[in-house]
Amino acid sequence: MAEHQEQVSPVLDTGAVNIVRKRELGRAVRGTFVGNVMEWYDVGVFGYLVVTLGPVFLPEANPATQVIFMLGTFASTYLFRPLGGLFFGWLGDKIGRKRVLFITLTTVALATFLIGLLPGYASIGIAAAVLLIVLKIVQGFSAGGEFTSAVTFISESAPDKKRGFYAAFLDAGSYLGFVLGAAIVTVLQIAFGQEAMVDGLWRVPFLIAGPLGFVAIYLRMRVEESPHFTALLAEAAPLARPRADGRPTLRVNPARVFIANWKPMLVVVLLVAAANSAGYAFTSYMPTYLSTVLEHDAVQGNLFSLPLMLLMAICMPFVGMLSDRVGRKPVLFAASLWVIVLSVPAFHLIGGAQPVGIVCGLALIGLPVALYMGTLASTYPALFTTRSRNTSLGVSYNVSIALFGGTAPLVIDSLIRVTNDPLAAAYYLIGMSVVGFITVCFLRESAGQPLEGSEPNVETALEAHRIHTARIALLERR
C-alpha cells in the first residue's frame, strides 16, 4: 500500500501537513521545466528568423513590408495569450493543473513542428502566410496557459521553504529554450549562409521541435496532480460535478474570481510589467538595437547577448534560493533599484566601441532581469488561493505580457527613433522599474510561508511534527 502511495502522490499527507516526496517533486520540476524550454524555443527560433521568413511567405513585398508582416505575426501570439490564460486558467482550476499542462505543451510543440512543414508562397500563394498566422495564434493561445499553469503547479508541489528555488527553474527553462532556439538559427546562418536558409534550411529549427516535444510530453505524462489541488478536489468532492469519465470537476466562475481577486491581480500586472519590459528588452530587442541603432554585425550582436542569456538562466535557481533565505521583497527591491540606478550607465557602455564595454553594459541589464525572474515565479502564486489561483494568475500575467512584455521592443525602438536618443530605452526601463519598486512596497512577504489558504508543504516528518506541536501549543494557550 505504501509503495502504491509513493507512485501516485508527490506528497505524504501527515495530518494537515504535506511531506513532499523528493522523487515525485523531481518529476514535477522536470515536467514543468521542459514545457517552458519548448515554449521559448519557438520564440527564439521565430525571433531570429524574422528576416529569413519574409522572402519565403511574402516574396513579392519589399523588405520593410516583409519585416513588418513577420513582426506582426509574432505579435499575434501575444494578442491571444490573455484569452488562452483565461481559458486554460479556468480549466486548470476546474479539472486540474496536470491535464491542462499536457494540453498546452502538446499544442505548442505540434504548432511549432507544423510551421516547419508549411509550404511557402511559391507553392500555395498568400494561403501560406495565412496558415503561418493561424499556427502562431494557436501557439499564443496555448502559451497563455503554459507558464502560469506550470508556475501554479510547481509552487503547489514544492516545499514551502524551497519554493523559490524550484519555481525559478521555470524561468530558467524559458531562457534556456530561447538560447537554444536562437543558437541553432545562428549556427545554421553561419555555417550555410542566408541564401540556404531562405531556400529551405529555415525549416530545420522548427522541425527539431518534433523530437524535442515528444521528449517533453513523455516527461510531463509522468507528473502527478499537485497536492493542493488534489486536497481541494477531495474536500469539494461531495459538491463537485462529475464528468463523463466519472472524474469530478470544480465549479469556477471567472467573474466572481476577478471581483474577489482584483487587487492581487493588479499587483501581478504591475510586477510583470516591470520585470518583463526589462526581460523582453534584453532578449528580443538587444540584438536589433546592436545591429540597427549601433550598426554592429547581426551575428556579432547575437554572440554578445546569447552567452549572457545562458548565464542568466544558470543564475536563476540560485536567485530563487536566495529569495528563500532573505525573502522575496529584498530581492525584488534590489532588482528594481538596480535597473533604476544603472540603466543609463549600461546604455552608455553598450553605445561604446569596445566589446568589453558592450558585454559589461549588457550584463548590467541582464543581471537584474535574472533577479526579477528568479524571484517572481514563486511570488505570483502566493497571492491567490488554490481554488482560483490558475484563473487569476493566467489572466493577470498574460494581460500584462501582452501589454508590456511583447510590446517592449516596439515601444523602445519607437522611443529611440522619435527622440533620436539611444538613452530613451534606459528611461523607459527606469520608468517601469519605478512602478515595480512601488508595487513591491505593497507586496506581502511569502517566502517560507504556506500558499494562501493551503496547508504547509515540508520536506521531513520532523518538520511536520514541529508544526503540529506548535499548533497544539497555540491552541492550549488560547
Distance separating alpha carbons of residues 146 and 320, to the nearest angstrom: 20
Residue 150's Cβ-side half-sphere holds a number of Cα atoms within 13 Å equal to 34
Is 244 within a domain?
no
Cell 536589433 belongs to residue = 288
Helices (H), 158-222: 163-192, 194-196, 203-207, 209-221
Is 239 within a domain?
no
Is 278 within a domain?
yes
Strand partners for 13: 18
pLDDT tens by residue, 219-267? 888 888 888 888 887 777 665 555 555 566 778 888 999 999 999 999 9
User: Which cell goes with 262?
Assistant: 482584483
Is 236 within a domain?
no
Q: Is the pTM higher than 0.85?
A: yes
Is 6 within a domain?
no
Q: Is 451 exposed, middle or buried (0-12, 13-18, 19+ CB in 10 A)?
A: buried
What pLDDT score was predicted for residue 11?
46
Distance separating alpha carbons of residues 379 and 167, to the nearest angstrom: 9
- Alpha-carbon distances of 340 from 148, 333, 364, 411, rounded to whole Å: 27, 11, 11, 18
Distance separating alpha carbons of residues 375 and 170, to the nearest angstrom: 11
Distance separating alpha carbons of residues 431 and 437, to the nearest angstrom: 10
What pLDDT score was predicted for residue 296?
67
Strand partners for 242: 248
Distance separating alpha carbons of residues 282 and 110, to the nearest angstrom: 28
pLDDT tens by residue, 92-132? 998 889 899 999 999 999 999 999 999 998 899 999 999 99
CA dihedral for 209, 212, 215, 220, sign (positive or negative): negative
Residues in the chain: 478
Contact between 46 and 260 under an 8 Å Cβ cutoff? The reply is: no
What pLDDT score was predicted for residue 292?
63
Is 242 within a domain?
no
Helices (H), 50-96: 50-57, 63-79, 81-95
What total number of domains does the chain contain?
1
Helices (H), 222-327: 227-236, 254-280, 286-288, 298-326
Q: Low-confidence residues of the chain, pLDDT below 50?
A: 1-15
430: domain range?
Answer: 13-226+252-477
With residues binned 3-state (H G I as helix, E B as strand, rest as coil), the percentages for the chain, rounded to 5, are 80, 5, 15
Residue 25's Cβ-side half-sphere holds a number of Cα atoms within 13 Å equal to 22
Is 2 within a domain?
no
Residue 300's Cβ-side half-sphere holds a number of Cα atoms within 13 Å equal to 14
What pLDDT score was predicted for residue 289?
72
Is 172 within a domain?
yes
User: Which cell goes with 437?
Assistant: 519598486
**Those residues with Cβ within 8 angstroms of residue 48's Cβ, 6 or more apart along the chain or in another chain:** 181, 182, 185, 186, 287, 302
Closest CA to 213 of 308, 107, 57, 140: 107
Bridging pattern class, strands 457-458 and 17-20: parallel
Distance separating alpha carbons of residues 7 and 1, to the nearest angstrom: 10
Distance separating alpha carbons of residues 133 and 146, to the nearest angstrom: 20
- Alpha-carbon distances of 452 from 43, 55, 224, 384, rounded to whole Å: 33, 51, 21, 6
User: Which cell goes with 337?
Assistant: 533599484
What pLDDT score was predicted for residue 242?
58
Distance separating alpha carbons of residues 51 and 70, to the nearest angstrom: 8
Domain of 113, CATH number, reads 1.20.1250.20
Task: Please provide residue 13's backbone torsions phi and psi, each rounded to the nearest 5 degrees.
Answer: -80, 110
**DSSP structural state of residue 225:** P
Other C-beta atoms closer than 10 Å to the C-beta of 2 total 6
What pLDDT score was predicted for residue 299?
67
